[in-house]
Amino acid sequence: MEEIVFGIGITALAGALATVAGAAEDTESDIGSQGDPNSQVQLAPQMGYIHRIFNKAVAGEPPAYGLWVALGAGLAWAFMAMQINPILAIVLGSALAVFVQGVYATTAYLGRTASLAKFGQPVYIDILKSMTTVTMAHAFVAIFTTVAMCHLMISALGHPFPLPLLGLVWGIALGAAGSATGNPFYGKERQYQEQKFGAGVPISASGNIVRYAEAGQRNSLDNGFFSAKLGGPASGICFGLIVFFELWRTVVFEPLAAGWGAVIIGIVIILIFAIIDRYIEVWARKTFGPYTAPEEASS
């Protein structure tokens, strides 16, 4: 009994760390316009919309976070093998992984922008100076919490995988959670607000992203504020729930039916969530309905 209570405590702690990681990951990637909104940011100058948005396309978020977290975990593993205290090792490993992330971000912005010279998109060096550091800070939070969570799974719950492999798996999961949950808020609700709500993005409006702010010109830090308000917490809840339920079902139900208990509970959780999702979707369609005549929306 005591073992299960301890396990649930660790599960809750890991879930809390994962929530912070998800929120930081989504804010980081949105400031860098990584993930699916990137296509519009990349397209904008070609359609004549010169902008001051940070465009750091390293890869999709899942592979990129797979690398940052696996690298942080690998370096932390190496420092621990050198008999360095685990907390210090995780901090050092995450800091070095963030250095790599920052360098990749700068080269991605410079490369993409220099290749768009034909369309008159200049390189704004102040974007690199002010925004790379902000994305690095968010990435550090995301990497540190995820590596710490992986270390907890190994040292407290006795997970059999070595730290770097667990980092790779959970890094990809973190990127996927942020990409799937957080990006719709930023891309579809903030980036394309030049279009009327519900109008979608017709081809003629491609690249017409929000470039001017209430006062002055918008840059990616404004998108960071927006992401921190909606997309970040949503991604955090998503990744936190994934980690919590994954560990909870293992800790509590693994003794049942020689391990099959955890598998069955996993399937039950998926079914429950599928039913909830379906209910919300049907409710939203009924309540908000299909997009009708534009005069109803005007005021």
Partner 1 sequence: MSVKIEAGAGGGIPHNQLVIYGLVGSLVLIYLTYLNTITGTQYFAFFGGLAAVVALIWGTDTIKHLCSYGLGTGVPSAGMIALGSGVIAALFGATTGIAAPIVTIIIAAIIGAVAGVMANHVVRMDIPVMIISLTELAIVGAMTVLGLAAMACGTFEFIGMITGEISILGFAVETYEFSLIGGSIIAVIFMLGAIAIQHSFNACLGPGERQDRTLMLAAECGFLSMITVAIISFAFIGFIPALISLLVSVIGWIYTYTQYIALSKRDAYAWLDAQPILEPKGGA
Under the binding rule (CB under 8 A), the answer on residue 59 touching partner 1 is: yes
Q: How far is the CB of 65 from partner 1 (least distance, A)?
A: 10
**Nearer of residues 12 and 80 to partner 1, judged by Cβ:** 80
Helix locations, 230-293, DSSP H: 231-253, 260-288
Q: How far is the CB of 67 from partner 1 (least distance, A)?
A: 4
How many alpha carbons fall within 13 Å on the CB side of residue 26? Answer: 32
Q: Between 161 and 260, name the residue whose CB sits nearer to partner 1.
A: 161
Residue from 85, 87, 155, 161 binding partner 1 (CB under 8 A)? 161
Q: Between residues 207 and 232, which has the closer beta carbon with respect to partner 1?
A: 207
User: Shortest approach of partner 1 to residue 123 CB, angstroms?
Assistant: 4
Region of 110 on the Ramachandran plot (φ > 0 left; ψ -120 to 50 alpha; else beta):
alpha
Beta carbons within 8 Å of 8's beta carbon, 6+ residues apart: 248, 251, 252
Asked if 77 interacts with partner 1 (CB under 8 A), we say yes
Q: Does 269 bind partner 1 (CB under 8 A)?
A: no
What sign for the dihedral angle of Cα 67, 147, 177, 278?
A: positive
With contact defined as beta carbons under 8 Å apart, do 225 and 32 qualify? no
Residues in Cβ contact with 72 at an 8 Å cutoff, skipping those fewer than 6 apart: 90, 93, 94, 96, 97, 98, 143, 144, 146, 147, 167
Q: Work out whether 73 is an interface residue with partner 1 (CB under 8 A).
A: yes
Rounded CA-CA distance 21/173 in Å is: 11
Q: Does 85 bind partner 1 (CB under 8 A)?
A: no
Number of other CB atoms surrounding residue 249 within 10 Å:
20
Integer Cα distance of 186 and 182 in angstroms = 7
Residue bearing tokens 């039916």 = 257
Helix (H) or strand (E) holding 187: none
Task: Report the 10 Å Cβ neighbour count for 154.
Answer: 15
Find the shortest distance in angstroms from Cβ 73 to partner 1: 8
Smallest distance from partner 1 to CB 76, Å: 10
- Residue 89 touches partner 1, criterion: CB under 8 A: no
Stretch that binds partner 1, among 77-85, 151-159, 182-190, 225-233 (CB under 8 A): 77-85
- Considering only 93-101, 179-187, 222-230, 273-281, which stretch makes contact with partner 1 by CB under 8 A? 93-101
- Cβ of residue 204: shortest distance to partner 1, in angstroms? 13
Give me the residues that bind partner 1 (CB under 8 A), please: 47-52, 57-60, 63-64, 66-67, 70-71, 73-75, 77-79, 81-83, 96-97, 100, 103-104, 107-108, 110-126, 161-165, 168, 211, 217
